[in-house]
Chain A
Amino acid sequence: MPSSLLWAVDVYGRVYTLSTAGQNWELCKDAHLEFKRLTSVQQCCWGIAGDHQVYLYVHSSDVPIRYQEETYENQRWNPVDRFCEKLLPSDRWQWSDVTGLKHQPLDSFRLPSEHWEWEADWYVDENIDGEPTEKGGWTYAIDFPATYTKDKKWNSCVRRRRWIRYRRYKSRDSWAKISSQDDGPLPDPFSDISAGGWDITDEPRGHLSLWAVSLQGKMWYREGIHHHNPEGSMWTEVTTPGEVVQISCGPSDLVWAVLWEGQLLVREGISRENPKGSSWVVVDSPSTEVGAIHVAVGINVVWAVTKDRQVWFRRGVNSHNPCGTGWIGMVGEMVMLNVGLNDQVWGISCEDRAVYIRHGVTSSELSGKTWRAIAVARDDDRSRSGSANSLASAGCFFSGEVRVQSSVMNDAESSSETERSQAAQSTSPTHADAMKRRIPKVTSDSFISELVSDKERKPGRDGRDGQTPSIQEEGAPQEQAFADQETSVELLPQSSSQQGARDPKWSNVDLEEAQPPLPAAASDTTETSSLSSVATYNLGMEEQYGVDEHPLWAWVSGGGCAVDSHTHLNWFNASTGVSSSVQSMSLSITPAQTAAWRKQIFEQLSERSKREMENFKHYEQAIEQSVWVKKGNMQWWRDWKPNKWIDVRFALEQFSGTDGNRDGILFIYYTFNDEKKYLHAFINEITVLVPVLNDTKHTFAIYTPERTKQRWPIRLTAATEQEMHDWLALLNLSCCDSRGIHGPPCKQAIWSTTCKGDIYVCEPPPNLEAVPYPLPCDQMFWRQIGGHLRLVESNSVGIVWGIGYDHTAWVYTGGYGGGFSQGLGSSTDNIHTQTDVKSVYIYENQRWNPVTGYSSRGLPTDRYMWSDVSGLQECTKASTKPPSPQWTWVSDWCIDYNTSGGTDREGWQYAADFPATYHGYKTMKDFVRRRRWARKCKITTTGPWLEVPPIALWDLTVLPCSSQSSIEEVALWGISNKGDVLCRIGVTQQSPAGTSWLHVGTDQPFKSISIGGGYQVWAIARDGSTFYRGSVSAQNPAGDSWYHIPSPPRQKLKQVSVGRTSVYVVDENSNLWYRQGLTPSYPQGSSWEHISNNVRRVSVGPLDQVWIIADKVQGSHSLSCGTVCHRVGVQPMEPKGQSWDYGIGGGWEHITIRGNSQEAPRIVMPVPAENTLEKKGSVAEEGSEGGGRTASISSVLCIKEEELNGNAVSC
């Protein structure tokens, strides 16, 4: 899980963020403003500043926020001027929008606010439905409005072309003021704000509902916020039955507000179509005596605070019943609460003003268990809390550094000891002033809730009834002028009196306020404020400031903070923080720390072995090697019909061969017609072990070359998941042992993934691409690597990246094992936790009848009314389980509107009958309809992968090169899940994750990309059109422009792969195409040639090898889909090859051959001398890891050759 941020405001209005991966509050980067309220979501944070204006803070990202403006230029033909701008009077505007109704010349476009900038000038779009147009971009039609085509015909009387221009949002990582609107009712100053609603709809992407409350108690809704328009477009007023003081909006359809009178309002009717909702329902305050002053809502929870600071939890809230059923009083007194992601709850305690998190909130226990204070220091007051910190971190990694720093400060500042009181203030006069203003201003706001109670004439705790209403009245409208010292002076006594009486902690604030002259007097020293703030604290002030050890908070927002009850946070006390950091030091790779002792042990051990054993090899071993047998009971899917599961005994016999290699035989003992029989397989013949875990059976499949040809593996079921994993781990180890495969896969490795997200890797034998006799594809040995990925891409210098089903990008760490293969089959370093999320779909089916219309009453012959996609399996919401016990649900069932074919507003798709093709609108002929429901589930596993946050990827490609290549920086391109084309900067062998993304502008979203050995970048847009990127090179990694390549006729392309020179694409109808006519001077090529059908995916390697995932591959026993196939006969002069060789299959989803750059020996003959040399060279370069490992191959033929090689090298 990527780190995310918790936002908070302290009582001085300073904004801090706390990262889930961090251990201290960091002052917001753009810190020139003071804030009263914040509401954060993952991509941004909204706030109300001291001037009561709304500000927006959008996090920076490598991907820009771009908005495409478009307008159409329309022309009509006349015999005199030919096509010209003279239109008929009845025609549309010469410059118009797509409908022609709105006049919009190029110069009418203005940037919406100061936070935008134009990316470039207007230009003509030369693309119509994925097809390139003629130069000039004109599309022709008989008349307006009509169907436009790219070809000019005799009857083309009108033409138009589309102009586009991008604008870019520039105010990122800073507070951008949302300008007050020009038209419509102008909202009065805002006092509260809440963002949410991102789960209501996924279109438009990045939709947010932003609700705000003004000082007059009116409510406003910000229209039009989405990814491309982060600021939204305008405020609209939402009428309310009373004056509102505070509002809270959850991620989904919950919106609650608090009225001045203390009741609560619940918004009803919020839906995908109407995110603003339709009506209000009033809910009474939890307590009959005191009204509510604060409410916080999440997905399924509502929390409230009453005026007496009591905390309440609302029972029975869900999307069907947003009002819930009743209140439960909770422990703790809070100033405010906030509900973040996963319904986690944050609060600020009344007593100590610390930020608390509700501990133990889970989907089954939404109210959680206890409050837990977040005790971490702020980055700007490390030395203050350093007294505690440095003690705890004694001996810790960085404590020395801190100490040095502070001692230096002490020396430098020894003369200015008296300045200690400058504490939170700074020394320059302007800073001091700013600070003085800060205190009263925010104080008045952070007690706004108290003001509420004052308005109601409830006696305050500190008897300041007389003062506060006046504050409220003058404070509110005057906020603009609030930055004056007079105001602050006026407010000063009020705030100090209330603080003094209420809370001992506040005495510090008094102290600071009482002493403003002092800093001012001492202010002519020239040191910077940051210096002094470090220095002032460590001079004997710890006792005084001990009281102020933790900051006083005014507001917290966790709407963007992704934690759940399992998240490990280092927030709770300094010592655990330190210990865990020490721990992670010892666990992670810190060569500096561990190398010394570890290296010594390695060296001493090998020295010892040498000393004690080298001269005594002729001695007899004390223990004779013997056969070791492991047995168990399993079920076997028997080979003959009727196929069914039968009980068998299963045994693995392992023994050491004469050459020291381990080997083994697998036995399956079964009974047939009362006769005992057995089936066996040699361990060294097994090519792959595939777990097929589902919710009822713990099955795995064993393939041998023979079984692969049959498309009929040995299928076995263990009694428990654990037993299955134990067996798999053992068999896996045996298989690797028998083939002499240990450690991580080599850089040349071929990676693949299955439809279950399992990851397999194959060490390519040198004769894999041999001509004319390559290693048969079905003899390739695949071993599993931990983790869960949708696709993996690699190259031969060992850069391996993957993308999960949730589009998270992962980089390979160089380890092996993980997942089920713990212990010996797994490296200890480099294995990390990995999570993935995917959706499970079920279908709700209905049939129309004349009486009730569509209903869940089908015909007797119909499919189940709740079913899987085929309709054959009944799948109800209640009975459908996650795919396997490794998965857990993480969301509720919701309607999926993104089903192919389109849906209506309620998600229904219509058809004449089951099964048929469905469409998203109802016609007279439609008698059935269905809709798809999706529910997200999550897997947590381990593997040699590290997340590359934060951008989610759709596709990626790595530059293929030879393993000896000395390229410094490896080109790696990706496509974000929003369709942006990205180029990764800083990818090297040492840091395969790279450093940042470079955005490459496109006119439309993309879906597939591939880079060839000569930096040819080909990409496919979501509309199926193909593009070639010009001028990409090592020096110019992003290239300069896109060239549109026409697709094969009537085909929408889906995926592209580029090798050394070959370019292959797959279209949506599963055809594989080869690009003809590519030359160095004309890299775009000339035409497409059809190669094969039934192709799902293609991978072209650095030697132009062609491997695909194919469907409908016929075996001698059955048919398999998702099969790895190898194009044989590919040679430099024959890049298209001759035929397919079929390898492992049945559920394979992805393969990448792009790491394998080893040239095959042309002819298999006694090894010539030069070949030997080459071999030697590669061994030397790759070290023992790669060179030795490529020796592990299964075919007799290769072993022979390898031995020859080996001998030659050792001589």
Chain B
Amino acid sequence: MADDKDVLRDVWFGRIPTSFTLYQDEITEREADPYYLLLPRVSYLTLVTDKVKKHFQKVMKQEDMGEMWLEYEGTPLKWHYPIGLLFDLHASNTALPWNITVHFKNFPEKDLLHCTSNYVIEAHFMSCIKEADALKHKGQVINEMQKKDHKQLWMGLQNDKFDQFWAINRKLMEYSVEEGGFRYIPFRIYQTTSDRPFIQKLFRPVTAEGQTHTLGDLLKEMFSAAVTPDDGEKKYQVVIHGIEPVLETPLQWLSEHLSYPDNFLHISVIPMPTD
């Protein structure tokens, strides 16, 4: 049987084929071809779209180019969400490649954060990891790491170096056997139908009696509508990394294996496709 390590690799090396098309109202000197890329699911849009920017630069005047932002079917894409999450949340069950529209004007200030450089992404990424570790180990593991270890996590993500990243990240995934898991599971539940950006609460991997909590337990408590009642119709899909883990999956295992590099379990709850 496959090893749990293979899950980590599969998660890391997940790619989404994407076509980038310039927004029709952007002023160009000549027609711009779409640009095709395989985007790493675990990375961030602004971190991996330098090539896109360069591509459209060729057909545009420098003065017409503001800060690049991306949009899918009218929804501005938040760069500070991992790519896989954005795709699962907005574009699950659609035909591939993923058609992203590229904008250089009219930055949607109320929807998106500015991303002036990779330092901003790094700062965001590291703060997520720290938050996650605060939940998991009261922040002890991340705080005991050296600066270079932090750097290695980031460089691993930036350069798509699985080994480099996991050499350090495994320490963040350790827990004492006695406790049976992390202190709290770092998770966020997203839905497109709500105004709330996401649900995030304290939730332990095991009950006070020592029973393991499953994905189902989490959803029941956080978003019970997502759990299909025994007799009812399935209304929602619960998606992580493009797959729907069964609700019996232990949460601790999920947290260790299906978390994004920021150490959070980003769970998308999306309505069942109607067709």
Interface residues of A (CB under 8 A from B): 392, 394-396, 575-576, 578-580, 582-583, 586-587, 596-602, 604-609, 611-613, 615-616, 619-623, 625-626, 628, 654, 726, 729-730, 733, 737, 743, 822-824, 827-829
Report chain A residues within 8 Å CB of B202: none
Q: Is B233 an interface residue (CB 8 A)?
A: no
The CA of A625 and the CA of B159, in the complex, are separated in Å by 7
Please state if A823 and B246 are interface contacts (CB–CB under 8 Å).
no
Interface residues of chain A: helix, strand, loop or mixed (majority):
helix
Taken together as a complex, chains A and B put the C-alpha atoms of A621 and B10 apart, in Å, by 16
Q: How far is the CB of A619 from chain B (nearest CB, A)?
A: 4
Stretch of B35-43, B58-66, B134-142, B188-196 on the interface side: B35-43
Closest 8 CB pairs of A and B: A579-B210, A616-B17, A604-B243, A823-B170, A622-B48, A623-B160, A597-B249, A605-B10
Interface size class of B (residues with CB under 8 A): 35 or more
Contact with A along B42-56 (1 / 0, CB 8 A): 010000110100000
With beta carbons under 8 angstroms apart, the residue of B14, B163, B180 that contacts A612 is: B14
The smallest C-beta distance from B83 to any residue of chain A, in angstroms, reads 9
Contact indicator B248/A612 (Cβ below 8 Å) = no
Contact flags B93-122 to A (C-beta < 8 A → 1, else 0): 000110000000000000000000000000
- Of all chain A residues, which has the CB nearest B181? A583
The answer to whether the Cβ of B33 comes within 8 Å of any Cβ in the partner chain is: no
Which of B3, B166, B245 lies at the interface centre, i.e. has the most chain A CB atoms within 10 A of its CB? B3
Contact between A608 and B241, CB atoms less than 8 A apart: yes
Residues from chain A with a CB closer than 8 A to the CB of B180 are 579, 582-583
Which residues of chain B come closer than 8 Å to A730, judged between CB atoms?
163, 167
Cβ–Cβ contact A616 & B159, under 8 A = no
Interface assignment of B206: CB less than 8 Å from any CB of chain A: yes
Q: In the complex, A611 Cα to B242 Cα: how many Å?
A: 10
Contact of A828 among B5, B11, B161 (CB under 8 A): B5
B21: interface (CB < 8 Å): no
Q: Which residue of A lies closest to B210 (CB)?
A: A579
Give complex CA distance A1057, B38 in Å: 57
Contact present for A623 and B96 (CB under 8 Å): no
- Is residue B128 contacting chain A, with contact meaning CB distance below 8 A? no
Contacting pair A827 B7 (CB below 8 A) = no
Bound-complex Cα distance A579 to B160 (A): 39
With both beta carbons as reference points, the residue of chain B lying nearest to A824 in the complex is identified as B166
Chain A residues with CB under 8 A of B13: 609
B3 touches A828 (CB 8 A): yes
Q: Please name all residues of chain A whose beta carbon is closer than 8 Å to the beta carbon of B206 when the two chains form the complex.
A: 579
B68 at the interface (CB under 8 A from A): no
Contact in complex: A621, B38 (CB < 8 Å)? yes
Asked if A743 and B3 make an inter-chain contact with CB atoms under 8 angstroms apart, the answer reads yes
Give Cα A394 to B207, complex, Å: 12
**Contacts A582-B212, A597-B245, A824-B170 hold; do A605 and B164 have CB atoms under 8 A apart?**
no
A1057 to chain B, nearest CB (A): 34
Q: By the criterion CB–CB under 8 Å, are A608 and B14 in contact?
A: yes
- Specify the chain A residue showing the minimal Cβ separation from B160: A623
Q: List 16 A-B contacts (CB under 8 A).
A: A578-B209, A598-B249, A600-B245, A602-B6, A602-B7, A607-B243, A608-B243, A616-B96, A616-B97, A620-B51, A622-B49, A623-B40, A726-B167, A730-B163, A737-B163, A823-B170
Could you tell me the distance in whole angstroms from the C-beta of A741 to the nearest C-beta in chain B?
Answer: 14
Q: Are A625 and B211 touching (Cβ within 8 A)?
A: no
CB proximity of A765 to chain B, nearest CB, Å: 24
Contact B250 A586 (CB under 8 A): yes
Whether B246 and A605, one on each chain, are in contact in the complex, defined by CB atoms closer than 8 angstroms, is no
CB-CB under 8 A for A623 and B11, given A578-B209, A580-B210, A733-B163: no
Per-residue interface assignment for chain B, residues 238 to 257, with 1 indicating a CB less than 8 Å from any chain A CB and 0 otherwise: 00011111101110010001
Contacts of A599 in B (CB 8 A): 1
Contact of A628 among B11, B159, B242, B249 (CB under 8 A): B159
A395 near B5: Cβ-Cβ < 8 Å: no
List, in ascending order, chain A residues with CB within 8 A of B226's CB. none
Contacts of B97 on A, CB cut-off 8 Å? Answer: 616, 619
Q: Are A596 and B246 in contact (CB under 8 A)?
A: yes
Any chain A CB within 8 A of the CB of B31?
Answer: no
Within 8 Å CB of B27, what residues of A? none
> Smallest CB–CB gap between B146 and chain A, Å?
11
Answer whether A609 and B10 are a contact pair too, CB < 8 Å, given A580-B210, A616-B96, A620-B36. yes
**Within the complex, what minimum Cβ distance (angstroms) separates B91 from chain A?**
11
Interface residues of B in 202-223 (CB under 8 A from A): 206, 209-212
Shortest A665–chain B CB gap in Å is 16
Instruction: Give complex CA distance A494, B2 in Å.
Output: 69
Give every chain B residue within 8 A of A621 (Cβ-Cβ).
Answer: 15, 37-38, 160
- Which B residues touch A601, using CB under 8 A? 7, 243, 245, 249, 257-258
CA distance A392 to B246 in the complex (A): 26
Given contact pairs A578-B209, A616-B17, a sample of 16 additional A-B residue pairs in the complex whose CB atoms are under 8 Å apart? A575-B210, A576-B210, A587-B177, A596-B248, A601-B243, A602-B2, A608-B243, A611-B96, A612-B96, A619-B17, A621-B37, A623-B40, A625-B160, A730-B167, A824-B166, A827-B3
A395, A575, A622: which has the most chain B beta carbons within 10 Å? Answer: A622
Kindly list chain A residues whose C-beta atoms are within 8 Å of the C-beta of B51: 620, 622
- Measured CB to CB, the closest approach of chain B to A649, in angstroms, equals 15
Which residues on B sit within 8 Å (CB–CB) of A580?
210
Closest residue of chain A to B17, judged by CB?
A: A616
Which residue in chain A gives the minimum CB-CB distance to B177? Answer: A583
> Quick one: given A620-B38, A628-B164, A824-B170, are A605 and B11 in contact (CB under 8 Å)?
yes
Q: Which of B154-169 contact A (CB under 8 A)?
A: 155, 158-161, 163-164, 166-167
A787, B238: Cα distance in complex, Å: 41
Among candidates A575, A605, A612, A737, residue contacting B7 with C-beta atoms closer than 8 Å: A605
Is the Cβ of B5 less than 8 Å from the Cβ of A824?
A: yes
Tell me the minimal C-beta distance from B169 to chain A in angstroms.
Answer: 9
In the bound complex, do residue A612 and residue B160 qualify as a contact, i.e. CB atoms below 8 Å apart? Answer: no
B231 on the A face (CB < 8 A): no
Check A616–B38 contact: CB distance below 8 A: yes
Q: Which residue of B lies closest to A585 (CB)?
A: B212
- Across the interface, name the chain B residue whose C-beta is closest to A827: B3
Query: Is B4 an interface residue when CB atoms closer than 8 A count as contact?
Result: yes
Nearest-neighbor residue (CB-CB) of B49 within chain A: A622
A613 in contact with B3 (CB, 8 Å) = no
B16 at the interface (CB under 8 A from A): yes
Compute how far the CA of A580 lies from the CA of B181 in the bound complex, rounded to whole angstroms: 12
Which of A604, A612, A626, A628 gathers most chain B CB within 10 Å?
A612
| Cα A628 to Cα B3 with chains together (Å) | 26
Given A583-B180, A606-B10, decide whether A600 and B170 contact each other with a Cβ distance below 8 A. no
- The residues of B that contact A611 with a CB separation of less than 8 Å are 96, 242
Q: How far is the CA of A769 from the CA of B209 in the complex (A)?
A: 58
Q: Specify which chain B residues have a CB less than 8 angstroms from the CB of A615 in the assembled complex.
A: 17, 96
Most chain B CB inside 10 Å of its own CB: which residue of A596, A597, A726:
A597
Give min CB distance, B38 to chain A, whole Å: 4
Residues of A within 8 A of B166 (CB): 823-824
The residue that A578 contacts in the complex, of B1, B159, B177, B210, with Cβ under 8 A, is B210
Could you tell me the distance between the alpha carbons of A601 and B36 in the complex, rounded to whole angstroms? 29
- Tell me the smallest distance from the CB of B159 to a CB of chain A, in Å: 6
Given contacts A622-B49, A628-B159, contact A612 B212 (CB under 8 A): no
Q: In the complex, A1089→B39 CA distance in Å?
A: 68
Q: Which residues of A contact B245 (CB under 8 A)?
A: 597, 600-601, 604
Q: Are B212 and A609 in contact (CB under 8 A)?
A: no
- What CA separation (Å) do A596 and B247 show in the bound complex? 11
Q: Which residues of A contact B212 (CB under 8 A)?
A: 582-583, 586
- Within 8 Å CB of A596, what residues of B? 246, 248
Bound CA–CA A862/B250 (angstroms): 67
Complex: how many Å from CA A828 to CA B2?
Answer: 11
By a CB distance below 8 angstroms, the chain A residues around B6 are: 602
CB A814 to nearest CB in B, in angstroms, measures: 11
Q: Do B10 and A612 touch across chains, with their CB atoms under 8 A apart?
A: no
CB neighbours of B164 from chain A (8 A): 628
Q: Are A619 and B36 in contact (CB under 8 A)?
A: yes
Which B residues lie within 8 Å of A612 (CB)? 14-17, 96, 242
Give Cα A743–Cα B6 distance, bound, in whole angstroms.
10
